[in-house]
Amino acid sequence: MLISCLACEVMHIARRAMAQATGTGWSLRRLRERVLRAGARLVISARRMTLALSSAAAPFWAVLWPRLMALHWADPDP
């Protein structure tokens, strides 16, 4: 149950980040269908893993990823 709650919170954060980045409203369903259910291929070579996203989802991730990395996550060790 805790994992479900955590997944819901992460989706909500991503939905808000996409809404701020694009200036349009995003529902959780729209986020799940267009961004999270994207086709991708994982390429593993030597010491590097590369995730190749589909061309339809790449623009969404290009907007979303920097915003998620800019968030100030809480430190687990107070």
| 17-37 per-position pLDDT tens digit | 889 888 889 998 998 888 888
- Report the alpha-carbon distance of residue 13 to residue 35 in Å, rounded: 13
Report whether pLDDT(78) > 80: no
| 43-56 per-position pLDDT tens digit | 999 899 998 888 88
State the pLDDT at residue 51.
86
Q: Can you give the pTM of this predicted structure?
A: 0.69
Phi and psi for 9 in degrees, rounded to 5?
Answer: -65, -40
Domain spans, the chain: 2-70
Cβ within 8 Å of residue 56, ≥6 positions away:
34, 38, 39
